[in-house]
Each structure stands twice: as structure tokens, then as C-alpha cells.
Amino acid sequence: MADIFISFIHEEEEVAKAVSDYLQALVPDAKVFLASDKWQIYAGEDWLKKICEALQNARIVILMLSKRSVARPWVNFEAGAAWLGGKHVIPVCFKGLSKGKLPKPYSSLQALDLHDRSDQRYLLRSVCHYLGVWMAKLEPPPHFEMAPISSRRNVSRTNA
């Protein structure tokens, strides 16, 4: 089963597929399920059952949110199921919708703007965090300064 469930509307499949390809290229062991992708749900299958199973088994649900998709029932259905299922829900804004314009309840979640390169990296970093995967390519931002390991050891001993 998939680790990551990407919720999108079929008219925006190309963008969802690009996000999937990006994540799979940089986190090759992660399995991604694209809702509405006819290559992952075969003819004759109970598609609703397949979507529900994928949602139940995913650890992360990425919501592809545009002005158009945020009003669609299936995206909201999948988002609600993920939220109530205790999944890590990541709103990804694009196509005229920005994280600053997200409606409730989406605006309560830490979101990102797909057009922003630093947010693309933030998506990757967040996915790796939730999957427990360390990526050597993920370096801290230039302004981030970690205390030397020796001083961290001293702090942990005094706090222990």
C-alpha cells in the first residue's frame, strides 16, 4: 500500500503527477497513490473501496488545492477522512490559490505554495520527516545554526 496519498481533481492530474514524480525521484522508497489516476485503479475494481483503503493505509495525505479543487466534494471528502483518520495532512496550494487565502478548516494546517521553490523543498522535507527518512540532499537553510554535538551532549546530560 501507499505511504503518500495525493488528492486532486482529474482536471489537474498533470500537476499532481508532477508532485508524485518529484517525491518519488527524491524519496524512491516512498509509495504514492494518486486518487483519480486510472493507472492505479483498474477497470472492474470497486474504485471507492480502493480509495478508502489507500486513505486508511497512507501515512501522509497531500491535498492539491486550487481555486477549483477546494470547492469540489471529493477533495473535501478525502481531506476529511484523512484528518479524522489522524493522517499528516499537507495542503499544497497552486493555480490561483495561495496559503494565505485558504478557507477554513484548511487554513488551520501548515500549508505551502507549490510555485515557491523553498516551499517545494519544504514539502520534501516534511514528507521525509513524516516517513522517518533522512535525505542527505536536505540541508538546513543557510540561516540555521545547530549547536555543536559536544554541547548538545552536555545539555542532555544536565537535563536528564
Give me the pLDDT at residue 149, please.
35
- The parent domain of residue 133 ranges over 4-159
pLDDT-based confidence at residue 139 (cuts at 50, 70, 90): low
Q: What is the pTM of this model?
A: 0.81
Give me the pLDDT at residue 83, please.
94
- DSSP secondary structure of 82-100: HHHTT-EEEEEE-TT--GG
Give me the pLDDT at residue 39, please.
77
Owner of C-alpha cell 479543487: 69
Mean pLDDT of 80-99: 95
CATH of residue 10: 3.40.50.10140
Mean pLDDT of 70-81: 93
Coil vs helix vs strand at 64: strand
Q: Is the pLDDT of residue 137 over 60?
A: no
CA nearest neighbour of 36 among 50, 22, 56, 19: 50
Task: Give the C-alpha separation, 112 to 122, whole Å.
Answer: 8
Instruction: Domain count for the chain, please give it.
Output: 1
**Order of strands, sheet of 32-34, starting from the edge strand that comes earlier in the sequence:** 32-34, 4-7, 60-65, 88-93, 112-113
Task: Give the C-alpha separation, 48 to 69, whole Å.
Answer: 19
